[in-house]
Amino acid sequence: MTRVVGKGIPYIDARKKATGQAMFADDYKFPNMLYVKFLRSPHPHARIVSIDTSRAEAHPGVRAVAIGRDLPLGFGVLPVSPDETAMAVEKVRYAGEIVAAVAGETEEAALEGVRLVEVRYEPIRAFLEPEDSLTECAPEEQIHEHCKNGTNIHKIASLRFNDPEAALEEAPHVRTLKFRFAGVTHAFTEPMATVATWNEDDGLVVISATQVPHYLHRTLSKILGLPLHRIRVIKPALGGGFGGKSDPFPHELITAHLAMKTGRPVKCRFSREEVFLNNHGRHPTDMTISVGCDDDGKIQALNADIVIDGGAFGSFGVVTTYYNGVLLQGPYRIDRFGFRTRRVYTNKPQCGAMRGHGAVNPRYAMEVTLDVLAHDLRIDPCDLRLGNFLPSNTLTVGQLRITSNGVKDCLLAVRERSDWDRRYGKLPFGRGLGVACGFYISGSALPIIWNRYPQTVVHLKLDFDGGVVVYSGASDIGQGSDTVLAQVVAETLGLPLERVHVKAADTRHTPVDLGSYSSRVTFMVGNAALKAAEKMKAEISRAVAREKKVPEDTIMFTNGRVVSEDGGLDLSWDDGVEIALAGRGALATSGWYISPKLGGDFKGAGAGLSPSYSFGAFISEVEVNPATGHVRVVKVWGAHDCGRALNPKAVEGQIEGCIHMGLGQALSEEMRYNAGHLLNSNFTDYRIPTALDTPEMDITIVESNDPEGPFGAKEAGEGPIHPVLPSIGNAVFDAVGVRMYELPITPDKVLAALKARKNAEQEQVS
């Protein structure tokens, strides 16, 4: 039997992308198209005294100018923090915020127009360090006036179960450690681009590089005052997102506004510098974590206090605030558990969701702390972890429901493959191994905007040509979700992949999907597609059974044929289709996904809830040059439990991508500012690891077959990043005996730590 699930196959759009036929947002061109460019704030925090657009408007190549008061309504991807406007109104909150937009006949004319807009500013005290934002300031200095108690604190999230403080006092071994993490950004390949058209017949059509066409659809409606049915959002081919395209953005709203204002198509495309300024990347984080355990290394309690630097606006920040704490509840059993996270506003580009959202930094802190405790107790770090794993089918202390759980298999796999037992702690000075584990949500169980609709709907259409069209709002951002949908449908109907076509992410033609975030698409949209395909199978079976007089429940779909168990029926797919469509024409079915009711009934219980969780364990081997402090990651062994690999080639790709991205945050990537001005908004100075920096990778896919996942699948795109970073940090310790509490682990920090240790040793001797 030909199967398409479980086989490593190229993505269904790979040829189009490789040959340049795929249409990305910037590839769309329309007659009479205008181009929009933005004037951005030169100040991190300032009152706008006046804006004069008259000179810009008089420029012969300029067709329209827009400023903040043209689109004054607040928005944000989370309804709880609509703190952003399309352009600055009354004041600017970061250097780089859009103040005005100019649509011109050419990009050059638009840029010329931007230069002619005159703005007078009155600088306000800028808050650049998160600790400054924690304290009370003068009302006129507040970044947002809605912050309570005169501070710049955006959100405080705190949960506490079973008095963790008392447990830490009782625990025989406790480590309290402080960590600091620099902000990092997604660094996807394709800069943002949006094209908008407007006419009375079609309404507003927005083609945009987005991970969330549905939320963009809603936000356009709100900000532009257009009914939802007058708006169509199309997500074209996308060159990566990693969470960096998962908010509705000002440039999308402005481009649409200018298309409506001018009645002409308008295109916006970002420079790389603008992509960096748009940010929405991982929050810079300061974290203190206390973990206690007994003499055998059994974890007794965890308590964490976290401050995350949100930048100027909310974005996904409220979720991030919770995720920093709640996603420490696994993969270990911790019954006495607490955290407090405070997210502050600062006058820098805003932070938001990025691959592994909210859990990457705390995971580093937790896994390094466990390593320290293992070292204290002289327990092998793998053994200490094995003794603490959550089992399958359990609830965490905060009532996250764990179903399938392959973490133990993951750890055993990398332990064996890296020859850990023979080599850990025994490699020559300068060479070391480190281990870490992790877990992550496989789709957020709760939608961002509460409503009574399913989280996703998939429609299938079968017509006389024998092809099945999958209609889904899901956004393929390069992660291969279109391929997953085609695979699920083809597998269910026993068809070769070429019979299945995917029409996705066009809000006028495809049913709603909430978007590509929180690693939800394979699980949720996969399930909806499965349900729709099963219904289609049932309809065809019913028609064939009636006509061929065979029992319906004996009919099978396999190898592109419709057959009965006993071989008495053997129809080609096309013959089966003709029978099913006779007298009625095209067949349509629908499937959807709604998360089961999960979680407790306390405040904050919804955070981190997912119908399923992925698990993983990684081991890294590093080489540290003790003279220069330079760290080279030699090899990474990664094992990830994705439930079932629908497409092992894609899963491997995601794990490798996580290793590469984790390596960057661990060793070299960092958003650097000078007085609120981003210093490294280019790929020369924002240092993504190059091919030469990328280690050898040994990937193991663990299949725990999730009972609720489509064909047993759960996520693989984000979970594998979490263990990467701490496995590197822990390996540095094994190599040269110093702990790295600050990311990125740049050579200057390693050298300073080595010196400090040497000095301490000398003092001890003397």
Partner 1 sequence: MKNDSPREEIAERSYVVVTTVEEAVARARELRGDYQYVAGGTDLEVHRRQELVAEHHVIDLTAIKELHAISIDGEELSIGALVTLDEIISDVVVRERVPLLATAARSVATPVIRKSATVGGNLLVKNRCTFYDQSGSWRSSIGSCLRDNGDICQVVGTDAGCYSRNVSDMAAAFIALGATIVVRDQKGEKRYDLTALYSGDGIRNHNLLENDGIILRVQVPIKPVASWYRKLRLRESLDFTSCTVAAAVDERNYIRVCINGVSMAPVLIEGDLAELSLEELHRRARRSCQTVDNDLLPLKYRREMIHIYLEEWWGSIHVDA
CA gap 559, 572 in Å, rounded: 9
Q: From residue 244 to residue 283, what is the string marking binding to partner 1 with x (rule CB under 8 A)?
A: ---------------------------x-x----------
- The reply on whether position 672 binds partner 1 by CB under 8 A is yes
178: which strand partners?
288
Q: From residue 212 to residue 251, what is the string marking binding to partner 1 with x (rule CB under 8 A)?
A: ----------------------------------------
Q: Which of 158, 221, 680, 705 binds partner 1 (CB under 8 A)?
A: 680
Minimum distance between the CB of residue 415 and partner 1, rounded to whole angstroms? 29
Q: Which is nearer to partner 1, 590 or 680 (CB)?
A: 680
Residue 521 exposure: Cα atoms within 13 Å on the Cβ side: 28
Q: Pairing between strand 285-293 and 173-181?
A: antiparallel
* CA angle, residues 170, 171, 177, in degrees to nearest 5: 115
**Candidate ranges 10-18, 144-152, 186-194, 691-699; the one touching partner 1 (CB under 8 A):** 691-699
- The reply on whether position 689 binds partner 1 by CB under 8 A is yes
Minimum distance between the CB of residue 128 and partner 1, rounded to whole angstroms? 14
For the stretch 281-310, what's the b/e string if a residue is b when 16 or more beta carbons lie within 10 angstroms of its beta carbon? bbbbbbbebbbbbeeebebbbbbbbbbbbb
CA gap 755, 27 in Å, rounded: 54
Greatest C-alpha distance within the chain: 97
Q: Which is nearer to partner 1, 590 or 625 (CB)?
A: 625
Provide the 8-state DSSP code for 229: G
- The reply on whether position 40 binds partner 1 by CB under 8 A is yes
Q: Which of 6, 42, 150, 604 binds partner 1 (CB under 8 A)?
A: 42
Q: Which is nearer to partner 1, 80 or 627 (CB)?
A: 627
Q: Which of 55, 431, 649, 687 binds partner 1 (CB under 8 A)?
A: 687
Q: Which of 81, 418, 681, 730 binds partner 1 (CB under 8 A)?
A: 681
Q: Which of 748, 759, 760, 761 binds partner 1 (CB under 8 A)?
A: 748
Q: Which is nearer to partner 1, 365 or 732 (CB)?
A: 732
For the stretch 684-696, what's the b/e string if a residue is b when 16 or more beta carbons lie within 10 angstroms of its beta carbon? eebbbbeeeeebe
* Burial (CB count <10 Å: 0-12, 13-18, 19+), residue 578: middle
Minimum distance between the CB of residue 42 and partner 1, rounded to whole angstroms? 3
Residue 236 exposure: Cα atoms within 13 Å on the Cβ side: 22
**Candidate ranges 84-92, 452-460, 543-551, 681-689; the one touching partner 1 (CB under 8 A):** 681-689
- The reply on whether position 660 binds partner 1 by CB under 8 A is no
Minimum distance between the CB of residue 688 and partner 1, rounded to whole angstroms? 8
Q: Pairing between strand 631-641 and 696-702?
A: parallel
Q: Which of 674, 762, 764, 766 binds partner 1 (CB under 8 A)?
A: 674
Distances (CA, A) of 275 to 278, 357, 377, 393, 682: 5, 19, 47, 42, 9
Cis ω for the linkage preceding 744 (within 30 of 0)? yes
- The reply on whether position 677 binds partner 1 by CB under 8 A is yes
- The reply on whether position 746 binds partner 1 by CB under 8 A is yes
Contact status, residue 476 vs residue 550, Cβ threshold 8 Å? no
- The reply on whether position 691 binds partner 1 by CB under 8 A is yes
- The reply on whether position 122 binds partner 1 by CB under 8 A is no
Encoded tokens for 387: 């003794």
Minimum distance between the CB of residue 187 and partner 1, rounded to whole angstroms? 13
Minimum distance between the CB of residue 683 and partner 1, rounded to whole angstroms? 8
Q: From residue 507 to residue 546, what is the string marking binding to partner 1 with x (rule CB under 8 A)?
A: ----------------------------------------
3-state secondary structure of 514: coil
Q: Which of 43, 214, 232, 385 binds partner 1 (CB under 8 A)?
A: 43
Q: Which residues contact 47 (CB under 8 A, 6 or more apart)?
A: 90, 91, 121, 122, 123, 124
Strands (E), 629-741: 631-641, 673-674, 677-678, 696-702
**Candidate ranges 60-68, 76-84, 131-139, 672-680; the one touching partner 1 (CB under 8 A):** 672-680
Q: Which is nearer to partner 1, 15 or 755 (CB)?
A: 755
- The reply on whether position 685 binds partner 1 by CB under 8 A is yes
- The reply on whether position 578 binds partner 1 by CB under 8 A is no
Nearest by Cα to 661 from 702, 693, 684, 639: 693
Number of H helices, E strands in the chain: 19, 31
Minimum distance between the CB of residue 633 and partner 1, rounded to whole angstroms? 11
Question: Which alpha helices (DSSP H) does 400-452 contain, by range?
Answer: 407-417, 420-423
**Candidate ranges 49-57, 667-675, 696-704, 722-730; the one touching partner 1 (CB under 8 A):** 667-675
Distances (CA, A) of 386 to 380, 411, 422, 643: 10, 8, 18, 20
- The reply on whether position 53 binds partner 1 by CB under 8 A is no
Q: Which is nearer to partner 1, 221 or 694 (CB)?
A: 694
Q: From residue 603 to residue 642, what is the string marking binding to partner 1 with x (rule CB under 8 A)?
A: ------------------------xxx-------------
Q: Which is nearer to partner 1, 14 or 675 (CB)?
A: 675
CA gap 521, 528 in Å, rounded: 10
- The reply on whether position 693 binds partner 1 by CB under 8 A is yes
Minimum distance between the CB of residue 157 and partner 1, rounded to whole angstroms? 33
The residues in 54-113 that bind partner 1, with binding defined as CB under 8 A, are 95, 112
- The reply on whether position 692 binds partner 1 by CB under 8 A is yes
Contact status, residue 592 vs residue 457, Cβ threshold 8 Å? yes
CA gap 314, 112 in Å, rounded: 32
The count of chain residues that interact with partner 1, using the rule CB under 8 A, is 33
| C-alpha torsion sign, points 291, 722, 618, 708 | positive
Q: Give me the phi and psi of 91, to 5 degrees please.
A: -150, 160
Q: Give me the phi and psi of 477, to 5 degrees please.
A: -110, 20
Q: From residue 279 to residue 318, what is the string marking binding to partner 1 with x (rule CB under 8 A)?
A: ----------------------------------------
Binding site for partner 1 (CB under 8 A): 40, 42-43, 95, 112, 115, 271, 273, 627-629, 667-668, 672, 674-675, 677, 679-681, 683-685, 687, 689-693, 746-748, 751
